[in-house]
Structure 1
């Protein structure tokens, strides 16, 4: 993704870094720890491998995700949150998750949380 040269504020910049359907979901899944591409694809319902790879590439370019390649056969690659920016963005996502949970409960849609097995962290 091409970054713009001008922003009205830093929040606008971060919004551009994580915008889209999948980036926040990928980051949220990575809160559970490092994982393989295949496991990420399995865990994120509806994402294609091509889209997952594109989104991971952008998240790595921005410094939120890191990729570790292990020696040997078969080749094993693991994606995880970076210690600084990955952990920082996770704190913001936790707040967003709680806002979503509260909204669903307050609007009579708490059953969705039960169906999905979602409990506040």
Structure 2
């Protein structure tokens, strides 16, 4: 996703970077550590591989995720959170998780 040139609020920018059904879920899964594309796809129920790859590319572009490419055959790529933005966003997602859990328990 291409970000806009101008934002009136930093929250708008952050929202655009995390917009979509799957990005927060991908980040939440990556809090557990490095993992392969296949494992991510298996762990996130309902996401297509195409959508996973697209979102990972955007999360890498925005600085939340990075990857290690290991030489050899078959090629192996591990994805993980960056130390700065990636780890920082997890604190926000933890609060969202708690709020969602409270809401689910009320129902």
Could you state the TM-score of these two structures normalised by the residue count of structure 1?
Answer: 0.86
Query: Does residue 29 of structure 1 match 2:4?
Result: no
Matches within 5 A, 1:1-121: 1-105=1-105, 107-108=106-107
Q: Which runs of 5+ in 1 are unaligned?
A: 109-121
- Aligned CA RMSD, in angstroms, stands at 0.7
| d(CA) in 1 for partners of 2:4, 2:69 | 31
| d(CA) in 2 for partners of 1:59, 1:72 | 25
| d(CA) in 2 for partners of 1:6, 1:73 | 44
Q: C-alpha offsets along residues 81-111 of structure 1, whole Å, 9 cap, x if unaligned? A: 0010000011100000000011111x23xxx
Say which one has the larger Rg.
1
* Secondary structure in 2 matching 1:63: coil
Give 1:53 deviation, angstroms. Answer: 0.3
Match of 1:115 in 2: none
